[in-house]
């Protein structure tokens, strides 16, 4: 399948709001990704911004949440659909309750607490505080469970104030960005009911896609 072409941050944001969910990279569902919707000439251009540069403004917009949300790979969920995704992925648990019930490792708690207490932290700051060993696994798991997301991408600057290199992810809890009551707004539903709502939404968007592929995308 093919969605319409995207050529700006606003185009991607509008597509996420329409579809509810959008992986960043190519996946098992043909055509359902930023990678496949955006012209190749915009990906690594020296003259114009492209998807790598647009991720920060989209994450900051408050209209979408960005993070490793699809099989440990990056993508977007719209503000509208985040509460159901959080309810399903968290199985109805706030992080502290998950930890208290023995369902989250102590290392996950260290990373989550550091981010939550500061409001937002760069990945390099988190590594310095919590250690690099196993960090990628922990930060991916916390994003997949929707306890953390990418709030922005920040470029390091040289002594003249000019940005250089690749951007660095800044992590925050979705509750910090959108408010606790909003993010947990689907907790009154059973997690299975939130999953079914998400599947129904994606079936309406991806009408020619096998339901099994949709289930694997959001599991």
Confidence (pLDDT) at 2: 62
Angle (nearest 5°) at CA 72 between 28 and 41:
60
Whole-angstrom distance, CA of residue 13 vs CA of residue 78? 8
Radius of gyration of the chain (CA): 17
Q: Going by C-beta distance under 8 Å and a sequence separation of 6 or more, which residues neighbour residue 75?
A: 21, 22, 23, 24, 25, 33, 34, 66, 67, 68, 69
Confidence (pLDDT) at 162: 78
Confidence (pLDDT) at 1: 53
pLDDT along the chain (219 residues), means of 10: 85 96 96 95 87 94 97 98 98 97 97 97 95 95 98 85 83 98 98 98 94 93
Residues 34 and 22: beta-carbon distance below 8 Å: yes
> What is each CA distance from 176 to 103, 131, 151, 171, 184, in whole angstroms?
23, 24, 9, 10, 12
Whole-angstrom distance, CA of residue 65 vs CA of residue 85? 11
Whole-angstrom distance, CA of residue 21 vs CA of residue 110? 29
Whole-angstrom distance, CA of residue 55 vs CA of residue 30? 22
Q: Which residues pair with 148 in a beta bridge?
A: none
Whole-angstrom distance, CA of residue 132 vs CA of residue 124? 9
């Amino acid at each position: 399948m093919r969605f319409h072409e995207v050529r700006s941050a606003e185009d991607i944001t509008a597509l996420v709001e329409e579809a509810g969910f959008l992986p960043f990279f190519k996946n098992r569902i043909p055509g359902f990704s930023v990678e496949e919707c955006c012209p190749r000439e915009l990906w690594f251009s020296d003259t114009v911004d492209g998807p790598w540069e647009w991720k920060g403004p989209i994450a900051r917009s408050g209209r979408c949440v960005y993070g490793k949300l699809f099989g440990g790979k990056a993508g977007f969920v719209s503000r509208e659909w985040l509460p159901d995704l959080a309810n399903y992925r968290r199985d109805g648990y706030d992080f502290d309750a998950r930890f208290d019930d023995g369902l989250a490792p102590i290392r996950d708690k260290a990373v989550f607490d550091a981010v939550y207490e500061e409001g937002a932290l760069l990945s390099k700051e988190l590594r310095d505080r919590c250690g690099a060993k196993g960090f990628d696994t922990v930060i991916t798991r916390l994003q997949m469970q929707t306890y953390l997301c990418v709030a922005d991408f920040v470029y390091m600057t040289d002594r003249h104030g000019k940005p250089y290199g690749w951007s660095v992810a800044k992590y925050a809890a979705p509750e910090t960005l959108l408010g606790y009551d909003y993010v947990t707004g689907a907790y009154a539903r059973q997690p299975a009911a939130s999953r079914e709502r998400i599947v129904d939404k994606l079936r309406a968007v991806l009408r020619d896609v096998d339901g099994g592929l949709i289930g694997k995308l959001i599991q």
